[in-house]
Structure 1
Amino acid sequence: MRYYVLDRGDQLSVDLAQQFHRLASERGFELDAESPEIVVSIGGDGTMLHAFHTFIDRLSDMAFVGVHTGHLGFYADWRADELHDLVDHMSGKNGQEPKKPRIVQYPLIELDIYKKSGNSSHIALNEFTLKGVDGTVVAQVDINDVTFEMFRGDGICISTPSGSTAYNKALGGAMVHPQIEALQLAEIASINNRVYRTLGSSLLLPKHHHCDIFSRKEQRLVLTLDHLNIPVDDLISVRCQVSNQKISFARYRPFPFWNRVRNAFLS
């Protein structure tokens, strides 16, 4: 098996990464930074986002496994003290055949960013946000090429189903099961008056829909793709839709989505 490990950089995560390398070497795994079959993320959800963007051009060829060393590991199936169990499942225990994982795929967001200085395309695992630097954001929101609302406020958040448990939840958005291929638009502190009228609640768009966010004044903005910040002062618009690409996670044992939600927020 070809594998690669990314760790958060704190001492516990570094120690676990070294331990994983040692165990993997004993089981005959091949360390491969270019084309791994399995990418192991050791740390928190931020580490998984980093792993995702590291291999963003090769998503169809690999699956991810998370080991969490912090307080909240929404993308992680394994605790720090279960590393031996994970390697046993991956390699086969006591001479048995390796356990074939169940591959679970989560939807992603595709973003086309149009600026006066040039255009670019991106995908995000958790969310995309648009925020103002100097004041409120003024933007027109279209759905399927029809004007839906004029927005004024702190910003707009577009999340995936898996990202619906992150910033979107803090904004009052709904938590969405990742088997539902959709994106969610949530407002960040919208201002409603006679000129600017917004829905005031988050909304879900299915895979075959898209939304466009048009900048409606000269404004300095920060576009955030997961953990990556992009300063922009010449934005024209952003098109958001569910991507045709997906991220794959290797499940070596059952860990249902709603169990993750319960463990993260209710336990």
Structure 2
Amino acid sequence: MKFTVTSRGDETSNALSQKIKTYLNEFNMTYDPDEPSMVISIGGDGTLLEAFHDYSHRLDQTAFVGVHTGHLGFYADWKPEEVEKLVIHIAKTPFKVVEYPLLEVIVRYYQQKTSKRYLALNESTVKSVEGSLVMDIEIKGDRFETFRGDGLCMSTPSGSTAYNKALGGAILHPSLASIQLSEMASINNRVYRTVGSPLVLPQHHTCMLKPQHHIDFRLTVDHHTFVERDVKSIQFRVAEENIRFARFRPFPFWKRVKESFIGDER
């Protein structure tokens, strides 16, 4: 099997990365950063996010594994002291593939410019470069509301514990093929009115944002930021692709939520 290892870049992560490479080479596995069957991410959730975007062109051929060298993450579940055990699993044990849904973002433009397509593992946000964001929101082709406020966040189920949670969104289990739209400081008065609650959309629903004014927008896709001009619409839906995680042991989602946000009971 071909593999590659990505590192957060700190001393501990780099040392573990080299250790894993050496061990797997001793098991006659091939290091191939161009066409890996498995990507082993050393660092945290941010490191795995970067690895996902680096290999988003081959998601159907690549599985991901995360080793955390900081706080326990939602994607990085192996501890540094478990590296030897992980290496033996990779070399000797058939792994179970667990798939999480992704967010597809399509930006369309005026002036007949070619549209752009992005994939997000956590979320995508939209804000205006200056002033309030004013967007018509369509769901399944029908106008739902006009939003006015700081911005909008569309998240995946696995990303629902990130920025979405900070905005008051619901935490969704990653087995649900869905996306969630949350507001950032919406303006609600007699002129402007939004539903005010996060919206969870199923796999077959499409959400379209249409700007009311020709202004520049700041679009984020996970940790990437883009300034978009001449935007006609921004479309969100559950992507056809999934991210594939290699699982060698149970990794209960709700246990991770508890450990991350509640901690041990006293």
Shift of 1:195: 2.2
- Partner residue of 1:108 out of 102, 111, 121: 102
Structure 2: distance between partners of 1:129 and 1:193? 24
Which deviates more, 7-16 or 113-122? 113-122
Structure 1: runs of 5+ lacking an equivalent: 92-97
Structure 2: distance between partners of 1:13 and 1:73? 15
Superposed counterparts of 1:37-48, under 5 Å: 37-48=37-48
Structure 1: distance between partners of 2:228 and 2:235? 15
Shift of 1:210: 0.5
Match of 1:237 in 2: 233
Match of 1:126 in 2: 122
Which deviates more, 131-140 or 116-125? 116-125
Shift of 1:57: 0.7
Structure 1: distance between partners of 2:72 and 2:197? 27
Structure 1: distance between partners of 2:255 and 2:178? 21
User: What is the SS of the residue equivalent to 1:36?
Assistant: coil
Q: Which amino acid aligns with 1:47?
A: T
Q: Does 1:154 align with 2:156?
A: no
Match of 2:6 in 1: 6
Q: Which amino acid aligns with 2:16?
A: L
Mapped contact 1:215–1:237 kept (Cα < 8 A) = yes
User: What is the SS of the residue equivalent to 2:115?
Assistant: strand
Shift of 1:85: 1.1
Q: Does 1:226 align with 2:222?
A: yes
List structure 1 runs of 4+ shifted beyond 3 angstroms. Answer: none
Structure 2: runs of 5+ lacking an equivalent: none
User: What is the SS of the residue equivalent to 1:105?
Assistant: strand
What is the total number of aligned residue pairs between the two structures? Answer: 261
Structure 2: distance between partners of 1:265 and 1:257? 12
Superposed counterparts of 1:71-220, under 5 Å: 71-91=71-91, 98-116=92-110, 117-220=113-216
Structure 2: distance between partners of 1:172 and 1:143? 21
Shift of 1:233: 2.7
Shift of 1:262: 1.2
User: What is the SS of the residue equivalent to 1:169?
Assistant: helix
Q: Which amino acid aligns with 2:93?
A: K
Structure 2: distance between partners of 1:37 and 1:118? 32
Superposed counterparts of 1:23-38, under 5 Å: 23-38=23-38
Structure 2: distance between partners of 1:115 and 1:70? 41
CA RMSD of aligned residues (A): 1.0
Mapped contact 1:137–1:219 kept (Cα < 8 A) = no
Structure 2: distance between partners of 1:266 and 1:18? 34
Shift of 1:65: 0.2
Match of 2:21 in 1: 21
Percent identity between the two aligned chains:
49
TM-score, length basis structure 1: 0.95
User: What is the SS of the residue equivalent to 1:46?
Assistant: helix
Structure 2: distance between partners of 1:264 and 1:78? 15
Shift of 1:194: 2.1
Structure 1: distance between partners of 2:214 and 2:117? 22
Match of 2:62 in 1: 62
